[in-house]
Amino acid sequence: MMKRLLILEDGTIFEGTAFGADIEVTGEVVFSTGMTGYQESITDQSYNGQILTFTYPLVGNYGINRDDYESIVPTCKGVVVRENARIASNWRNQMSLDEFLQRKNIPGISGIDTRALTRIIRHHGTMKATLVNPGDEIKHIQDQLRATVLPTNQVEQVSTSTAYPSPGTGRNIVVVDFGLKHSILRELSKRECNLTIVPHTITAEEIFDMNPDGVMLTNGPGDPTDVPEALEMIRGIQDKFPIFGICLGHQLFAMANGATTSKMKFGHRGFNHAVREIATGRVDFTSQNHGYAVDADSIDKTDLMVTHIEINDKSVEGVRHKYLPAFSVQFHPDAAPGPHDADYLFDEFMEMIDATKLEKGDF
């Protein structure tokens, strides 16, 4: 079997076995602590430009199926595993992980100590890395890696370029696509919402013309400060329509109201993050995938209030506007993969929409 190297920006080199596409890539290396859900993670556009390491030691054992895509064209840069399962066994299985990555032109590396890699990332923070085949002079590869500037237009890469519908018979929701997961659309469709998915560049005036019952701000990749055009849009609509933000949408909603964000050392990526709702003390285990967070000390000067915190590091996990029908969460209530503890938040969004319509006399 062909060898492949994973070379980190700090000079660390891991040698393993190649699988997936036979190409060389460079990206930000991150890790996910999920024990399952590798298909959903790989196809999650929030991993755009990243080399995704799975901490669970066996990946690929149930193959790839038609139901668990979170996007059609995944844009993560590479996949790192301890062991790539030789046999995929599941009644839904349609192809192996290896075949899937080949079709999607994503390289993988197996047979490396992912625990050691994770410890490096936890200690030093996320960093640039490259997946290459042996042969080139290592110092030259390392020099190239250090000189590489990673792109900052991730949302532009993954957001839809044109609006499209997902018809339903209920509430009219505009979904602003910053790199959405299909599971968000599934949850809204379960509630019979009539959806219009729009590009991240949409303006407040264009949303006014659609006259929705509510607006969803989706997840997406990268640094929220790289999407300044979204802030003006959010400020323009938040006193007109109920808003629900998830992940990147949460960060942008907070920034539009005066809060700030900062890069985390290694982020939250996995499906076992315990989050406490401050008002009730309720604890939910949540699915998360983000490398930036809202700064807690920046909330006090805004019209926002913190509603949820992460139990382990006390980071901000949810905010709500004090005077407007708008709220957001850092985690994924849509899960996929992960626990569905927090899917009630979609029902709260529906209730917020109905209450707003009743107040306006629109029923």
Helical pair 344-360 and 182-190, crossing angle rounded to 10 deg: 60
Residues 47-87: pLDDT tens digits? 999 999 999 999 999 999 999 999 999 999 999 999 999 99
247 DSSP 8-state letter: T
Q: What is the mean pLDDT of residues 28-57?
A: 97
What pLDDT is attached to residue 316?
Answer: 98
Domains of the chain (ranges; CATH) run 3-147 (3.50.30.20), 155-360 (3.40.50.880)
Place of tokens 């920046």: 298
Q: Is the pLDDT of residue 363 over 70?
A: no
Backbone angles phi, psi at 104, to 5 degrees: -90, 5
> Contact, 345 vs 250, CB < 8 A?
no
Q: What pLDDT was estimated at residue 135?
A: 82
What average pLDDT does range 282-289 have in this prediction? 96
Instruction: Please compute the mean of the pLDDT values over residues 215-226 and round it to a whole number.
Output: 98
* Residue 220 marked ligand-binding: yes
Partners of 50 in the β-ladder:
28
Find the angle CA(134)-CA(43)-CA(130) to the nearest 5 degrees.
Answer: 20
Cis peptide before 337 (omega within 30 of 0): yes
Query: What's the rounded mean pLDDT across residues 178-187?
Result: 98
Q: Tell whether 222 is in a known binding site.
A: yes
Type and span of the H or E element at 78: strand 78-80
pLDDT per residue as tens digits for the range 296-343: 999 999 999 999 999 999 999 999 999 999 999 999 999 988 899 999
46 is in an annotated binding site: yes
Residue range 182-186: mean pLDDT, rounded: 97
Residue 361 pLDDT: 76
- Amino acid, res. 351: E
pLDDT at 155 over 90: yes
pTM: 0.96
Establish whether 49 is an annotated binding residue. Answer: no
Please return the burial class of 183, using the count of CB atoms within 10 Å of its CB with bins 0-12, 13-18 and 19+. Answer: buried
Mean pLDDT of 133-140: 88
- Would you say residue 362 has pLDDT above 80? no
> What percent of the chain is predicted at pLDDT more than 70?
99
Q: Which residues are catalytic?
A: 247, 332, 334
Does the annotation list 125 as a binding residue?
no
Q: In this predicted structure, what is the pLDDT of residue 360? A: 80
Ligand-binding site membership of 292 (annotated): yes
pLDDT in tens, 221-242: 999 999 999 999 999 999 999 9
Q: Is the pLDDT reported for residue 167 higher than 80?
A: yes
* Mean pLDDT (whole number) for 171-178: 98
Residues 79 and 108: beta-carbon distance below 8 Å: yes
Helices (H), 191-334: 204-210, 228-237, 248-256
Residue 5 pLDDT level (bands cut at 50, 70, 90):
very high
